[in-house]
Structure formats: C-alpha cells, structure tokens
A and B are shown apart, each in its own frame.
Chain A
Amino acid sequence: MSAETAAPDRAAPVREEAAQALDRRTRAHARVHTARALGLLAAVGVLVLCMGLSVSVGAKPIPLGTVWDALFANDGSYDHSVIVELRIPRAVLGVFVGAALGLSGALMQGLTRNPLAEPGILGINSGAAAAVVAAIYVFGLTSPNAYVWFAFLGAAAASAAVYALGSRGRSQATPVRLALAGTAVAAVLQGLVYTVIVLDDFVFDRIRFWQVGSLVGRDLELFSRIWPFLVAGVVIALLLGPALNTVALGDDLAAALGARINRTRLLAAVAIVLMCGAATATAGPIWFVGLTVPHVARTITGPDQRWLLPYSAVLAAILLTAADTLGRVVLPNGELEVGIITALVGAPVFIALVRRKRMAQL
C-alpha cells in the first residue's frame, strides 16, 4: 500500500516541473512576440518620422509646424500647396514603393529559399524597361500614366521566364542559377532596348531618365491608378506568412503536413508581380532594396515569415523614404535619384553578404 501511494508522490514533482517548463516556454514565446510587436511599432514610428522629414526637407526647407498647418489648417499659400500637392504624394509613394520592394524581396527569398533572390536580379527591371521602351517606340505613349501597364506586363513575363529557366532540372533553383538566368534574360532584353534607343533619340531621351529609379515628378493621378495593385499585393503577401513558414520546411515535409505548396507558390508569385510591377512602373528600376532589407529584417526577427514580412515592408519603406530625402540634400544643387542612392548603399551590403563564409540558408 505504501508503495502504491508513494508512486504518485514521486511523479508529482516531475509533472509539476513539466507544467512549469511549458508555462515558461509559453511566457517566453509571448514575450518574444510582444517584443517583436513593440519593435515593429517602433519601426513604424521611425517611418512616420522619415515621412515628416521627407515632407519638410527639400529645395525649400519647410518647418514641420507649417507642414502641420498645411494638413489641418490649409490657407492655400505657396508652401501649403507645395506640401499637399508635391511632397506628401511623393512621401506616400516612397512608402508604398519601398514597402512593395521589401515585401517582394522577402517573398522571393522565402519562396525560392534563396538568399540572393531580388526583383532586379530576377530580371524584373529589364523586363519592365523593355516593355516601357516598346510602349514609347511602338505605340508612341509618353506619360508614365500610359505605360504603367506595359511595365506590369514586361515585369511579369520576364520574372516568369527567369524563374522557369533558373528552376529547371532535378535540383532546386540555386542562387547562382537564378542569378545567371536573370543575367541571360536581362542581356537579351537589354540588347533589344539598345537597338531601339540607338534608332530613336526620342525614346533614348525618355528611357535614360526612366531607367534611373526616381520618385521625382510622379503625380497623384499615377498613384491613383496603381495603388489597388500595390495594396492587393501587400495584403496577399502579409497573409502568406504562415504558409511560407510551412514551405520553408522543404517540399516533402510541407506536403506531408498538408500544406498546399503549389497554391502558396502561385499566390506568392502573383503578389510579387503585382508589387514589383507596380513599384517599377511607378518609380523605375530600383536596385537592391528588395535584396538587402529582408536580410536586415531577418537579423531582428529570425526566420519566422509572419514577422519577417511586415518588418521587411516597414524597414524598406524607411530606407526608400530616407534615401529619397537624402538625395535631395546630398548635392549642392539638384537631386540625386533614389535609385542611385539605394544601389550605392545596397551593393556593398550585397557583397558583404556574398563574402560571408556561409551564406544565410533559407
């Protein structure tokens, strides 16, 4: 009898310990999520600060107080109309384009499990450029509002071609394969672009300004056309977080767990094309935002796509808005386009990533 009562007594501390451990894990988990949520909130705060700077800094500095007045007590003065008609649309556009690029970079890297996947490297920029050249040369379209659809189509076609070429064969698409497939497809498209711009000075004069990614002179009308695509892409991307977490386990395991891999891939591809197409059509090709920001975000969040995606979006928006603002003050007169600043800042980060002994495995 004594033996029967002794047994549960011996087991009780073990059970209690297990319960405590579970409790500790749950609480630690909750703490991590709370910390990440707070971090995201802080990042959003920084983004709002950057937007404020972006609105007040420029060829004519406008104090933040005047910015406030322009928003809530607009008296129609020159400063107020500059803010409402030029600077605020530009800041909003910067946020959207940046978020779209960061998100699509994170999506591509998650989807291909490839740390070097990026809209520019996957040929999206050259596809959009070739389509824009075709729009100007063949159809005589001249305003960004008109050729935004061509940029969309070109980006979609080129990225599909590069991904198909890079993921052929028995094994997965490796970083080098995708990069080389992108190089090859981009070369063909670039050759076609060369041919046209040599034949036609008018096209050359347009395209040389388009192919430097920039937020200058993009008006509200253009934004009113593309925002539904951007928002649709962003929403799809953010909802895909849990599904991407499963895909990251590997195709076989994910399938065994009941994940619908092909549906996830298709949705992610749709989101990437929507976001990259819209961003590139609006601002022109902007390199390296989509590549570097997810890596920075990953150092904060770890591999959890549910947090990685929103962090990438917010950090990329900060980067683009800050780079755009920096471009306005870095030259004594005139502006440095945001695409140039992001390439000059992003490429060294890319090279540092490549030089690391083990590249981040996804």
Chain B
Amino acid sequence: MTATTPRTAPTADGSVRPGRPVRFGGVSFLLRPRTAVVLGALVAAIAAVFAALLMLGEYEISLPRVAAALAGTGERLDLFFVRDVRLPRAWVAVLVGASLGVAGAVFQSLSRNPLGSPDIIGFTGGAATGAVLTILVLGGSMLQVSLGAVVGGVATAGLVYLLAMRGGVQGYRLILVGIGINAMLVSVRDYLITRADLTEAKAAQVWMIGSLNARGWGEVVAVAVCMAVLLPPLLAMGPRLRLMEMGDQTAHALGVPVQRTQALALLAASALTGAAIAVAGPISFIALAAPQLARRLLRSDGTTLFGSALMGALLLTAADLVAQHAVGEARLPVGAVTAVIGGSYLVWLLYREWRTGRA
C-alpha cells in the first residue's frame, strides 16, 4: 500500500465499505469500524465467560472475592479454587479454543472450502485412535497419550492427503477419503474399547470426546509455548492466505510464493491442532465453526485469523461453562457439548447455503 491508498476499499460485490488504512512502519492494514467493534465485543464476551468460569462451581465465589484472589489476597479456600483449579482450566479453554479457531481458519482458507477442517481430513480421528491405542494397549502416561495423539493425527492427515492426491488434491475427494479412513479408525477404536475393562474403556472414551476436566498450569504452559511459536508466523501469513483465496494463479501473479506458503501454513496449522488435541483431546467442531462465525460477524470477504482465534476462544469457554453446569453435578466432557452445538451449526449452515443455491 502506498500513500495514494484511497480512504475507502472496494469490496467483492462492488459496494464500498468504510475503512481507514493504518501504517505501523512497514506494516499497513485497513481499519474498519465494524472490525474494531466486533473484536471488542468478542473480547468482552470472553472476559465475561471467563469471569463466570472463575465464579461458578460447587463452591461459589463472588466477583469481588475472585478479584481479590487473583490479586493474591483473600481467603485460603478462595485462593485455592480460583488460582489453582479454575484459572488454569479457563486459560486452557481460551488457548485451546483460539488454537483450534486459527487452525480451522487456515485449513478452510487453504482448501477454499467452509468444511475443510482437521475434523474432516481425518486429523482428529487419527489423534483419537493414537491416544486410545496409547491408553489401552501401551498403558501410557498423560504425556505419552498426548504424544500418541499427535503422532496418530499427523500420520492420518498425511495418509488422507496422499490418498486424495491424484493430479492435485480436489476438495471433495479429500473429504470423502477422510470419511473412509475415519470409518476404519472408528472400527479400530470400537474394537479396542470393547476389549478393555470398563474403567479403562471409559477413560479412553472420555479422552476421545475431549475434556478440560482437571487441566492445570502444566497444560497452560504447554499450549501457550506452542502458540507463542506458531501464531506469529501464521498471523503474518494472513494477508498472503487471503490473496491465495483468489486462486493460486492470481496469487502467484501478485507475487505470493504459493507452494511455500501452502506448505508452511499447513504445517503450522497442523502443529497447532496437534498441540490443542494433546492437551484437551479431540474437541470437535470448534475448528469448523469458529472461522465461519467470525467471518459472518465481521462481514469479511476472506479469512480473518484474529477474529477466528477470538471466536474459537469464546466458543470453547462458553461450551465449557455449559458442560460444567448444564447437567446437575455431572461434569460433561466439553467435546460432547461442542459436538451437539457444532453439529447443529453445520446442519444450519448446509440448510441455508443450499437453499440459496450455493454449495
């Protein structure tokens, strides 16, 4: 962008959307009032849910006491619940949600398909199978289970990608191969789960659904480190990804190194998904729904990585709130809540888009 940039930016449908170019040194971007308002509202909503996560529970703590506990003063019981139990769990929800949101946005942008997500290309199913194998066959520790999940996920995603490749990877073939591989993995998991004893089988099942129960500061640090390494390069790639959504050739003509960007973005997004799954299990549908919701709220033409991150964080914290308090005293795994909400959202999305004739 040069100094002659107009004060308004034309959009795909020919209308003109208000926006103001902002420059920080070598970086420039358009600032739109709507973007600022929506991102602000998302942050506020996350903060509200975050506060509710800290306050609610069997031992309820009022907001002033939560604030006091966060500041390091207050009763010992308050300090324990807020700082050692609820705060790390809430942070895990925020970070894992944000990771999944960004990863989903990258997957959808690269496949130019609103349904391209780690769920559908088999990453999630492979991770679940890897983890169940580690839990039931190898009897591994928490760390080893996480490792098994990451290895399973990467291996499966690679396999699906290779099998779908035939003169280039086509979107629908990728999805259908993913469905086939997933069915095999499900039957392997079903087999393992019927052969284990009830307690172990249940533990494996809960892990497979995806849960935030009993997550502590160790997990927070793990995800935070992964995000700190992977997020900046991905955010920096954002503008290039948006150019590539116009088509590989156009992007190439505009000076985007298409192949390299594609490979790097896929690698980073897969690693981010892997980190999230290793900590919280394969939580479904956040990666699918968050980018779509963010895009609709922001009325943006392309992928918005930052908005997707915030939306993912909001979705997962809200789902965790529902999971913890919706069904009496039982603590549902958060993945059960996201499957119902996310699946319903997908049904609605398909219903709406196909009614209007877009596929």
Contact = CB atoms under 8 A, between A and B. Distances in A.
B176 A168 contact: no
B202 interface: yes
A201 B202 contact: yes
A177 B181 contact: no
A50 B298 CA distance: 61
Interface string B172-187: 1101110111011011
Interface string A344-362: 1011101100110100000
A187 interface: yes
Contacts, number: 155
Contacts of B340: 188, 191-192, 195
Nearest to B193: A208
A184 B193 contact: no
A187 B327 contact: no
Interface in B138-196: 163-164, 166, 172-173, 175-177, 179-181, 183-184, 186-188, 190-191, 193-194
B343 A120 contact: no
B172 A176 contact: yes
Given A183-B179, A188-B347, A336-B191, A351 B336 contact: no
Given A181-B350, A194-B339, A198-B209, A187 B285 contact: yes
Interface string B327-339: 1001011011111
Contacts of A165: 347, 350-351, 354
Contact of A180 (B175, B177, B186, B336): B175
B111 interface: no
A293 interface: no
A354 B180 contact: yes
Nearest to A196: B336
A211 B183 CA distance: 13
Contacts of B338: 191
Interface in A201-219: 201, 204-205, 208-209, 211-212
A190 B339 contact: yes
A348 to B, nearest CB: 8
A199 to B, nearest CB: 5
Interface size class of A (residues with CB under 8 A): 35 or more
A355 B187 contact: no
A343 B183 contact: yes
B333 A198 contact: yes
Interface of A: 116, 120-121, 165, 168-171, 174-177, 179-181, 183-192, 194-195, 197-199, 201, 204-205, 208-209, 211-212, 287-288, 336-337, 339-340, 343-344, 346-348, 350-351, 354-355, 357
12 contacts: A175-B172, A177-B359, A180-B115, A180-B175, A184-B346, A189-B343, A192-B340, A194-B333, A195-B332, A204-B205, A208-B190, A339-B190
Given A121-B179, A174-B359, A340-B187, 10 more contacts: A165-B347, A184-B343, A186-B343, A187-B346, A198-B330, A287-B183, A336-B191, A339-B187, A348-B180, A357-B166
